[in-house]
Amino acid sequence: MPEPLTIALAKGRILDETLPLLARAGIEPADDLASSRRLVIATNRDDVRLVLIRSADVPTYVQYGAADLGVAGKDVLAEHGGNGLYERVDLKIAPCRMMTAGIDGRPLPRHRLRVATKYPRITERFFHRQGRQVELIKLYGSMELAPMVGLADLIVDLVDTGNTLKANGLAPLEHIMDVSTRLIINRAAQKMKHRAITALVERVEAAVAG
Ligand code: PRT
Ligand code: MG
């Protein structure tokens, strides 16, 4: 019996849509993930197990081969940088846009802008490409609060319906990138476990298409 394939998943909004997709690809967790406290979860298949981690940690586990595959948002992947992994399938789950946003109706100040975000690398790259110097403020959540309390002039965050921005007196300004959920693969595993991974990827692709 070869080592099982390990798939890294994150609890949260992506998981609810990933599980039906995995089920259609023939993989079902042995425990109820919502209630289980286990971090390693067996599946109906001896050759596949799941690990449950924070979404921002998924690319790191896959980069180092602690997981062979993973499911993560393009936002998290772009911020990570993609070393040691392939982005293999667009699962079309949880689509949204990464945007800059500022206080609705208020012109931007002329001083060097302060930008609050959970995504410093993406934000830095975005403004750098435009030749705009900004001061980055790293936050871990609730970015929408920052402009209102004078912490930042702009935020960079994910926008879906736009309701969260609106509820906090903000308006979307510039589109940075489209985001959806991707299946990623460790580069070494792709070679070493080629047959098992290819078979699994094909089943996932069929599940996405169907
Ligand atoms: O909670 P934890 O820190 O562990 O992880 P997480 O917050 O990254 O997880 P989770 O479950 O909140 O989100 C995981 C992934 O969902 C993200 O990495 C994205 O790829 C994807 N996703 C898709 C979103 C959204 N849409 C989204 N709208 N993640 C967050 N949002 C938030 C956004 O940050 C903002 O606060 O929803 C709000 C905006 O939504 P609207 O509809 O009001 O515009
Ligand atoms: Mg969250």
User: pLDDT, tens digit, for every residue of 154-201?
Assistant: 999 999 999 999 999 999 999 999 999 999 999 999 999 999 999 999
Determine which residue's CA is closest to atom 13 belonging to ligand 1.
Answer: 13
CA of 158 to the centre of ligand 1 (A): 7
User: pLDDT, tens digit, for every residue of 94-140?
Assistant: 999 999 999 999 999 988 999 999 999 999 999 999 999 999 999 99
Q: Same domain for 172 and 189? A: no
Taking the CA of residue 66 as centre, how many other CA atoms within 13 Å lie in the half-sphere pointing to its CB?
Answer: 13
CATH number at residue 143: 3.40.190.10
Task: Give the sign of the dihedral formed by CA 30, CA 34, CA 36, CA 37.
Answer: positive
Q: Grade residue 19 by pLDDT with cuts at 50, 70 and 90.
A: very high
Q: Same domain for 36 and 71? A: yes
Structural domain containing residue 139: 97-177
CA of 127 to the centre of ligand 1 (A): 22
Average pLDDT value over all residues in the chain: 96
Question: Is the CB of 79 within 6 Å of ligand 1?
Answer: no
Contact 62, 8 (CB under 8 A): yes
Question: Is the CB of 164 within 6 Å of ligand 1?
Answer: yes
Q: Same domain for 204 and 147? A: no
Looking at the structure of the chain, the number of domains it has is 2
pLDDT of 1 above 80: no
pLDDT at 34: 82
pLDDT of 55 above 90: yes
Question: Is the CB of 76 within 6 Å of ligand 1?
Answer: yes
The pTM of the full predicted model, rounded to 2 decimals, is 0.96
Q: Same domain for 85 and 189? A: yes
Q: Same domain for 21 and 42? A: yes
> Going by DSSP bridges, is the β-strand pair 96-103/170-179 parallel, antiparallel, or unpaired?
antiparallel
Q: Grade residue 36 by pLDDT with cuts at 50, 70 and 90.
A: confident
Determine which residue's CA is closest to atom 23 belonging to ligand 1.
Answer: 94
Task: Return the closest-CA partner of residue 72 out of 47, 98, 51, 54.
Answer: 54
Q: Same domain for 172 and 125? A: yes
